[in-house]
Amino acid sequence: MTYPTEATAGARISAVEPHGAAARCGLRAGETIATADGQSVRDVIDWMWIADSDSVRLVLEPAAGRDAREVTLRRSLGEGWGLTFDGVVFDGVRQCDNACAFCFVAQLPPGMRPSLRVRDDDFRLSFLAGNFITLTNLSDADMDRIVEQRLSPLYVSLHAVDPDVRRALLCPTIDDEALARFDELAAAGIETHVQVVLVRGLNDGPVLERTLGWLARREGVLSVGLVPVGVTRYQRRRLSTFASAGDARAVLDQIAPWRTRMFDERGEHWVHAADEFHLLAGGELPAAADYDGFPQFENGIGMVRAFIDELAEEVAGGPEAGQTSRPGGRAVNVVLVSGEFFAPVLGRLTSSLDVFGVTVRVLCVANALLGGNVGVAGLLAGTDIASAIARDRAALPRGSAPATYLVPDLATNDEGLFMDDLRLQDVVEQAGADVRLVSSDAAGLAAALVSLTSHTTGG
């Protein structure tokens, strides 16, 4: 998702539904709402707040062929307004005032597109999209608005409660009042999901214990997610990562008593470790029920478990082995492209995919663009993918059947761009192979495999 970093004059309308309320009142795409019921509209939250009625008076800035004008927008009971906006914030994204030691944006290579360098720290995007914020840039007016509009839950990056450790981690450029703000929000009934980015030897161990204790005493902390620090080859500060099974196991062992205690007290496990910790430790992943409904799924907590369970369901409900093939149909060879983090998991699952009538193997792609310990598929560059596929094809025995390479769509953004601005067609041309994007979830993968087989056999 991309967001504007510069302020605009108001809420620019990107589309108007035919025959909807906005269309009946003559609104058109390209017009901009300057005010609604006399109030400025800074984002879609303001719009939903102000326009929560059956009519709203708008002042519209001019669009092509139209002058500035006023109009009263009306809708029927239960009807939407029938319009969409350019983005969800209209006055620019609030960016971070800190210089965090582990900031991933600061670790990107030079020359990358500007949108990747937006250091989002916007409470509105925390509420709307689950983006994590530090609370360090909130003004009193922001606090009043959060409470008044009940922007709950918020997703908060806390990292530590020890003042010295916080200074070492966040490197704040302004007064760090985040803990006080956190307590104010809690007192006002605003709930939170908390993230702790763990740096080995800095905010783990006893420091983490104090952080969890502090959070456990606060009302409204719905979940705590522990995520290992990500380090690229452009990191200029010495940050110790979790590189061994023992490192990961120490974190899991530390939170185990907390999970037991909180489940006994609240009926939920409350604190969850990122999938990387479990895979690095080499033990069994928690069962789906132990993730308490996956409150931090997009934070990489529970994704692997959800994929494994969903794929098992797809396999159980899929076609019997051989049913997707027809006499005379050629073999269907599929290669699943993945990053170093998830490739071993996929590799253990490929034998179960025989039911779809395909031969499947996994191609693990190292992240040469970013390096470090970055191993997720979502951050793979198109060039790295294309190069790995080209090498894979060159290594195949002569006469091997051609393969179709499936790349998870989370490696591209909403505009179809990989990290290095390549598009799928660029990857196809560079790799010289049949490369396709596929939905990143298990259901999407299963559907893609069935589709490949049916197309190959003439179904």
Instruction: Please check the confidence at residue 7 and state whether its pLDDT lies above 70.
Output: no
The pLDDT assigned to 324 comes to 45
Could you give the 3-state DSSP secondary structure of residue 134? coil
Indicate if the pLDDT at residue 144 is higher than 90: yes
Q: Among 3.40.1580, 3.40.50, 3.90.550, 3.80.30, name the CATH number for the domain at 105-301.
A: 3.80.30
Q: Which pLDDT belongs to residue 140?
A: 96
Q: What is the pLDDT of residue 168?
A: 92
d(CA 139, CA 175): 12
Q: Looking at residue 62, what is its pLDDT?
A: 73
Q: Which two tokens stand for residue 408?
A: 């998870």
Q: Considering the chain, what is the average pLDDT of its residues? A: 91
User: pLDDT value at position 458?
Assistant: 47
The answer to whether the 105-301 and 309-456 domains have the same CATH topology is no
Q: Which whole-number Å values give the CA distances from 230 to 199, 235, 241, in the listed order?
A: 9, 10, 8
Can you give the length of the chain in residues? 459
Q: Of 349, 393, 350, 343, nearest to 367 (Cα)?
A: 343
Q: Tell whether the model's pLDDT for residue 263 goes beyond 50.
A: yes
293: left (phi over 0), alpha (psi -120 to 50) or beta: left
pLDDT at 5 (0 to 100): 44
Q: How many CA atoms lie within 13 A of 284 on its CB side?
A: 4
- % of residues, the chain, pLDDT over 90: 77
Topology of domain 309-456, per CATH?
A: Rossmann fold (3.40.50)
Q: By the 8 A CB rule, do 28 and 66 touch?
A: yes
What pLDDT is attached to residue 452?
86
DSSP-assigned beta bridge partners for residue 192:
154, 221
Answer yes or no: are the C-beta atoms of 330 and 356 closer than 8 Å.
no
The DSSP secondary structure of 194-239, one letter per residue, reads EEEEE-TTTTSHHHHHHHHHHHHTSTTEEEEEEEEPP--TT--S--
User: What is the three-class DSSP state of 313?
Assistant: helix
H or E stretch at 406: strand 403-408
The span from the CA of 456 to the CA of 359, in Å, is 13
pLDDT band at residue 247 using 50, 70 and 90 as cut-offs: very high
Each domain of the chain, given as residue ranges in start order, spans 11-85, 105-301, 309-456
What is the residue-wise DSSP string for 345-359?
Answer: HHHHHGGGGGGGT-E
Q: What is the pLDDT of residues 180-208, one digit of tens each?
A: 999 999 999 999 999 999 999 999 999 99
Residue 1, pLDDT above cutoff 80 = no
Residue-level pLDDT at 354 = 85
Residues 6 or more apart whose Cβ sits within 8 Å of residue 422: 381, 382, 383, 386, 430
SS3 at position 377: helix
Q: Please tell me the predicted confidence (pLDDT) of residue 319.
A: 67
| 87-115 mean pLDDT | 89
Do the Cβ atoms of 80 and 56 come closer than 8 Å? no
Give the mean model confidence (pLDDT) for residues 345-358.
90
Residue 455 has pLDDT above 70, yes or no: no
pLDDT above 70 coverage of the chain, percent: 93
Q: What CATH architecture applies to the domain 11-85?
A: Roll (2.30)
The pLDDT assigned to 64 comes to: 64
Q: Which two tokens stand for residue 279?
A: 């895979």
